[in-house]
A and B are shown apart, each in its own frame.
Chain A
Amino acid sequence: MARVVLVGNLTQLTGGVAEFDLSATSVRQLFRQLADLHPEIAPHLEEGVAVAIDGQIYQDALLEPIGADSEVFILPQIAGGSLEDVP
C-alpha cells in the first residue's frame, strides 16, 4: 500500500483527513481512488496539483507509476511563471 499525504488546503476537501493508504499503482489510479472516497476533491486533482512520489516532484504525473511502498505527497502546483493555483 502506498502512503498518500495531502498537503495544505486539499484536506479541506476530505473532511480534514490528510493521510491515506491506497493500493494504486499509478497516479491516475490514485486520483480515482481518492475521488471515490472524497468526491469533492476530484475536480482539483487532475488540474492544479503537483505530486511528489518518493521525494520527486512531478508537475504533470497522471501516468507516473507508484510503487507498493511509495510515499506520495499531493501538493499545490508550483510554477515559476504562474501564481494561480487551486483550491
Chain B
Amino acid sequence: MAGNGTNGQQYVGTRTIRPDGADKVTGRARFGADYNLAGQLIGKVLRSPHPHARIVSIDTSKAEALPGVKAVITRDDFADMPSEFIPAGEMMMNYKDVTRNVMAREKALYEGHAVAAVAATSAVIAKKALKLIDVTYDVLPHVIDVVEAMQPGAPILHDDLFTVGVEPKPDRPSNVAKRVEISQGDIDAGFKRADVIVEREFKTAPVHQGYIEPHAVLATVSEDGSAEVWVSTQGHYIVRAHCARLLGMDIGKIRVNAAEIGGGFGGKTVVYLEPLALALSRKAKRPVKMVMSREEVFKASGPTSGAVVKVKMGATKDGKFVAGWAELKYQAGAFQGSPVQPGVMCAYAPYEIEHVKVVGYDVVSNRPKVAAYRAPGAPISEYAVESVVDEIAKKLGIDPIQLRMMNAAHEGTKAAYGPKFGPLGLEETLNSIKKTEHWNTPLRKWQGRGVASGFWFNIGGETCVSLTVNEDGTVSLMAGTPDIGGLRASLAAVAADELGIPYDKVRPIIGDTGSLGFNFLTGGSRSAFSGSMAIVEAAKQIKSELCARAAKLWEMKPDEIEYAGGHVKPKVASEKVTPMSLVDFAKVAGKTGGPIGGVGRINAQGAGPSLGTHLVDLEVDPETGRVTILRYTVAQDAGKALHPAYVEGQFQGGAVQGIGWALNEEYIYGADGKLQNAGFLDYRMPVASDVPKIDAIVVEVANPRHPYGVRGVGETPIVPPLGAIANAMENATGIRFTELPMSPPKVLKALKEKYGAGGAGR
C-alpha cells in the first residue's frame, strides 16, 4: 500500500481548507462566462421553434449584411460525418449524430435545436441578426412520449435508424435504436420457486442536471489554424477531441483551458457551443464568446431520460429473492444513446439473485438529446426495483432493512450483470442506518419513513498528473480533470502526505490540454480515485530520483537511502551525512541534475463499486398534496474518504437532487411538442427551505485495488432517494405511488381517490 507508506496520513482523511477556496468566496475565481478577450465578438444561436421539421432552406444574407455581424454559420459550415462509432477519448461517439446535434442538418429534431449561429460586435446586434435569418421549415408530426414513440405508425425521427439487438434484423426504420438484455440463471424457474411475486409498472419524468452555471465558452482561432478555448466543462480533453473531429482540425492545434466549472453532474461531458464558437471564430478571425441562457440550457442541453419501467420480482416466504425481471424503456432524446445499458446492469446490482433477466430499449423522440446525469440510468431502474423490494417486505412482514440485509450483495456475490464482486459495503450501510436514532424515532399520522439502497460501478480511466518541486521546495501539482467539488483539496492532501510536506506547500492547479497528457473527464466518480493513484506514482518518481541523487552526493548506494518523513536520509543513520528535506534538495536541484518532478501517467483500473442506503422521513399535507421532507440520513461506502467534508457534501447534494427528482422536477411538454417550463421558476429544484439537514454517515470498506482504499463517491448518492421517498410515501399515505415526480397535484388526486377530500377517510 504505497499511499499508506513512508510518511503516514497527516492530511488525507482530514478536513483541510480547499486550496482554491479563497478565490471562490471572494468572487475572484473565473468560471466559464468570466473570461474575455480584447476584440471579442458575442455569439448567439438561432434555435428551431418546432419539435420536428425538415429544414428546406436557410437564408442568412440579410443577417450577414447587418453592420456589426462578423460571421454567420449554418449546417453548411460543418462537414457531414458517417454513421460509425469511433473512440473519442474514452467515449464511443457516433459523429453523424454529434454533428447534427450541435447544428441541425436535414431536420430540426427538437424545439431548441440549433439551426444557425451568429457572431457580432455586441449581444444586441447578434440578437437582431438572428431575427434576420430566414429559415423555411416543413413542419412534421412530432412524438414526445417514449411509449408513443415505440408504436408502429409513430413519426420516425431518423430514416436510417433500425433497431439493433433484435432478431430478425428489422427492414423498416424505427424510433427504437437498440434492445439490450442481461440475463443469468433461468428466470422462469426462478419465479416457480417464488412464494410471493410483485409486479409493477413505473414511470419517471426526464429531469435536468440543473447546474447553476449555464454553458459558456470563449474561443479564438488564429490565421495559422491554431486555436485556444476557455470553457466550462467536465473534460477539456474531450472538448478538444470532439471539436477537432467536428471541425477537421488537428488535436495538437487546439489548446483548451478548463475554466472553473459551475456544476455539471454529467451534463457538461458533451459539446454544444464549443464547436460553434470555434467555427464562428475561424470565420470571423476574432475571439468569440458564447453563453447559453437558462432557457437554452433547458431546451438544448441535458437532461436525463424519462422512462417507463416494468419490474417483476419473486421471493421465497422466508425472504430470499429468487427472481428479478425488468423491462426498461428509456428516452434518448433526438439521437440514440440513453443510459439504458447501465440502467439494465444496475437494476438488481445491490442484491444476490440467482435468476435475473433485464431488457432495455433505447428510444428516440423529439426532445433534446439526453446527457449523462450522475450514475446515468441507475436511479430510474433502481427506483423501480427498490419500490418493489419494499412491497415484498410488506407482504412477507419482514423489516425492510432486514430484507435488504438478507439479500445484500457482498464479497463473492455474482453480480446480476455477471462477474463476482470484491469487497462491498452495502451490509455496513444497512447496519449503520439501522443503528441511527433516526430509524428508531416514532412518527405521526400522515408521516412516513422510507429506506432504499443504491449501487453504482465507478470507473477509473486515463489520468495524467504532474508534481513539480519548485526552487524553494514548494510543490506545484497539476491535474487535468476539472475540479467540480473539492478535487484540489483531496489531491493536495495526497501529494502532501506522499512527499511528507505541509499541505499548504502544495499548490494544485488544473492544467490546460497542452500541459499534461490525455485525461479522461471528471465523471464516473473517477477524478479523486484516479488522480490520487497518479499522484502516488508521480511522488514515487520524485522520491526515487532524490534517493539516486543523494547516493551520488553522499557516495552511497541508492538502496542505502530512503525518503521518509519528508527527508532523504540514509536507512542507517550516519554521522557523515545530514538528512535533506525537499527544501534542501530544491536548492541544489540545478547542481545535482536539474529540475525535480514526477509525472503520473496511468490508466486507472480497479475502481470499486460504491453502495449506499438512504433513510427518509416525510409528511404529506392532505389538504394540498405537498410533501415535506422532515429528516434524511445517508450512509454510503466511500472506501476511504480522502476529504470527509467533501465526501459528505457529495452524499448530501446527491440526496437533495434525488429529492427534487422524486417530488417536483419534470420536463412538461404541451401538445405542440414545446417545453412549457424552461426556467427555474417552473422547473422547481429544491431550495434551502424545502429540505432539512442531511445526516451523512461515511462508511469505509477499503477498495483493495487503490493505494488509499478509495472507491469514488459522486454518483451513488442520487440512486437511493427516489425509492426511499416513494417507500416513505407509501408508509405515510397507504398509497404506492408509481409515477415520478410525486408532485402536489398527483398526490392530491391520489389521496382524494382513496380517502376523499382532504384525506378525511384515512
Contacts and interface: CB of A to CB of B under 8 A. Distances in A.
> Per the CB under 8 Å rule, do A and B touch in the complex?
yes
B377 to A, nearest CB: 8
In this complex, the member of B167, B376, B456 whose beta carbon has the largest number of chain A beta carbons within 10 angstroms is B376
A79 B524 contact: yes
Given A12-B165, A48-B85, A56-B606, A80 B420 contact: no
B323 to A, nearest CB: 19
12 contacts: A7-B182, A9-B178, A57-B607, A76-B180, A78-B342, A78-B457, A79-B90, A80-B456, A81-B266, A81-B521, A81-B523, A83-B337
B260 interface: no
A71 B178 CA distance: 28
Interface string B213-244: 00000000000000000000011001000000
B504 interface: no
B61 interface: no
A82 B181 contact: no
| Interface secondary structure of A, over-half rule | loop
Interface residues of B, number: 61
A56 B705 contact: yes
A5 interface: yes
A9 B234 CA distance: 30
Contact of A85 (B92, B458, B459, B603): B92
Interface string A8-35: 1100100000000000000000000000
Interface of B: 85-87, 90-94, 164-165, 167, 178-182, 234-235, 238, 266, 269, 337-339, 341-342, 344-345, 370-372, 375-377, 417-422, 456-462, 520-526, 603, 605-607, 705, 714-715
B738 to A, nearest CB: 25
A7 B418 contact: yes
Given A8-B180, A71-B419, A82-B91, 6 more contacts: A9-B164, A12-B167, A55-B420, A76-B341, A80-B526, A83-B377
Contacts of A59: 90, 459-461, 603, 605
Interface string A53-79: 011111111001000000101011111
Contact of A78 (B167, B345, B462): B345
Contact of B417 (A7, A54, A64): A7
A87 interface: yes
Contacts, number: 131
B93 A84 contact: yes
Q: Size band of the A side of the interface?
A: 20 to 34
In this complex, the member of B92, B235, B421 whose beta carbon has the largest number of chain A beta carbons within 10 angstroms is B92
Contacts of A77: 92
B164 A87 contact: yes
A73 B418 contact: yes
A12 to B, nearest CB: 6
A54 B96 CA distance: 37
A1 interface: no
A86 interface: yes
A60 B603 contact: yes
A2 interface: no
Nearest to B91: A82
A52 B345 CA distance: 14
B524 A81 contact: yes
A84 B420 contact: no
A36 interface: no
B461 A79 contact: yes
A71 B421 CA distance: 12
Contacts of B714: 80
A58 B460 CA distance: 9
Contacts of B370: 83
Nearest to A78: B457
Given A59-B90, A78-B342, A85-B92, A73 B523 contact: no
Contacts of B705: 56
B182 A81 contact: no
A80 B523 contact: yes
A80 B459 CA distance: 7
A54 B524 CA distance: 22
Nearest to B457: A78
